[in-house]
């Protein structure tokens, strides 16, 4: 029974992601973001539970990636679709595909531009597939992990909702900016870029100095900038990985 606990937690990750997909499709990006975060929470604890219970397995590894594909791949891609739809069409994407709204259908490029956001889902799928066969990614990462990328994407609707300003709207609902973020996220997930892991094998300062420093600075950024601090934290993570030594 104990050996099934990590997989059950992974199942909660997948379930959270599936609910996030439903909310994203319906245009409720805040609820979608909440369930993406919930799924990421379960994603962290399934691995922790597997290690503590000595219940790691090949099935668990595959199930974890499948769950992450939903929570951190498909759901963020759909969030970006809706953001692009708001930027180009002025409405949630599904509104324009509803037969009841046939008289207000836009035509041409604008109708299909929001689908550009699904590149995030494709990039996440490729990143997860590489992760499963890459023996280098045991204690560190090559490329931005999909949960981190998902947090980057959902920070955009959270900023618009809870830290609204004319400046934020003009930037975050600019289709060119959103397409640039989409391309950047795909590149970061699949770049040959070594990023340090955040798992603590011990709690001493000497061997975890970089991790402790990153966590302290991250908390300060989030307290100061709130949701706008999420992209700043990810930038900090990348810069500390690239320019600091262990």
Instruction: For residue 234, give both structure tokens.
Output: 């990810």
CA distance 64 to 232: 27
Q: Please answer whether residues 5 and 47 qualify as being in contact, where contact means their C-beta atoms are separated by less than 8 angstroms.
A: no
What are the residue ranges spanned by the domains of the chain? 2-193
Please give the model's pTM, rounded to 2 decimal places.
0.91
Residues in the chain: 246
Q: What is residue 198's predicted lDDT score, i.e. its pLDDT?
A: 77
Give 58-64's long-range contacts (Cβ < 8 A, gap of 24+): 59/7, 60/6, 60/7, 60/10, 61/132, 62/132, 63/7, 63/10, 63/11, 63/14, 64/10, 64/13
Q: What is residue 146's predicted lDDT score, i.e. its pLDDT?
A: 96
The predicted-structure confidence for 194-205, as pLDDT tens digits, reads as follows: 998 877 666 777
Q: What is the DSSP letter of 183?
A: H
Instruction: For residue 170, give both structure tokens.
Output: 């003009």
Is the pLDDT reported for residue 175 higher than 90?
Answer: yes
Q: Tokens 């889902």 sit at which residue?
A: 121
HSE of 38 in the Cβ direction (CA atoms, 13 Å)?
Answer: 16
Q: What is residue 8's predicted lDDT score, i.e. its pLDDT?
A: 87
Mean pLDDT of 49-72: 81
Q: Please answer whether residues 75 and 23 qualify as being in contact, where contact means their C-beta atoms are separated by less than 8 angstroms.
A: no
How does residue 245 score in pLDDT terms, banded at 50, 70 and 90?
A: low
* CATH fold group of domain 2-193: 1.20.120
The predicted-structure confidence for 113-140, as pLDDT tens digits, reads as follows: 999 999 999 999 999 999 888 877 766 7
The predicted-structure confidence for 21-46, as pLDDT tens digits, reads as follows: 999 999 999 999 999 999 999 998 87
The predicted-structure confidence for 76-117, as pLDDT tens digits, reads as follows: 999 999 999 999 877 777 666 565 655 556 666 777 899 999
Q: Please answer whether residues 87 and 175 qualify as being in contact, where contact means their C-beta atoms are separated by less than 8 angstroms.
A: yes
* Sign of the dihedral through C-alpha 65, 67, 68, 69: positive
Q: What is the DSSP letter of 71?
A: I
Strand ranges in the chain using DSSP code E only, listed in sequence order: 140-142, 194-196
Q: What percent of the chain has pLDDT over 70?
A: 86
């Amino acid at each position: 029974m104990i050996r099934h606990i990590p997989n059950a937690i992974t199942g909660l990750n997948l379930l959270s992601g599936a609910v996030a997909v439903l909310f994203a499709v319906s245009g409720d990006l805040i609820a979608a973001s909440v369930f993406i975060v919930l799924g990421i929470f379960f994603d962290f604890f399934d691995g922790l539970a597997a290690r503590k219970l000595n219940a790691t397995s090949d099935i668990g590894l595959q199930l974890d990636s499948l769950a992450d594909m939903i929570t951190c791949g498909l759901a963020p891609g759909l969030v970006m679709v809706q953001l692009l739809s708001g930027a180009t069409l002025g409405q949630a994407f599904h509104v324009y595909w509803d037969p009841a709204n046939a008289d207000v259908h836009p035509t041409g490029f604008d109708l299909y531009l929001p689908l550009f956001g699904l590149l995030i889902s494709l990039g996440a799928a490729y990143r997860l597939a590489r992760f499963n066969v890459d023996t280098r990614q045991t204690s560190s990462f090559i490329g931005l992990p999909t949960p981190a990328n998902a947090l980057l994407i959902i920070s955009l609707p959270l900023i618009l909702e809870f830290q609204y300003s004319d400046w934020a709207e003009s930037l975050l609902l600019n289709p060119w900016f959103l397409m640039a973020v989409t391309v950047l996220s795909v590149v970061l997930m699949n770049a040959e870029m070594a990023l340090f892991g955040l798992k603590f094998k011990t709690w001493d300062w000497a061997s975890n100095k970089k991790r402790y420093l990153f966590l302290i600075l991250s908390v300060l950024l989030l307290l100061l900038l709130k949701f706008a601090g999420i992209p700043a934290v990810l930038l900090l993570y990348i810069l500390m990985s690239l320019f600091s030594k262990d």
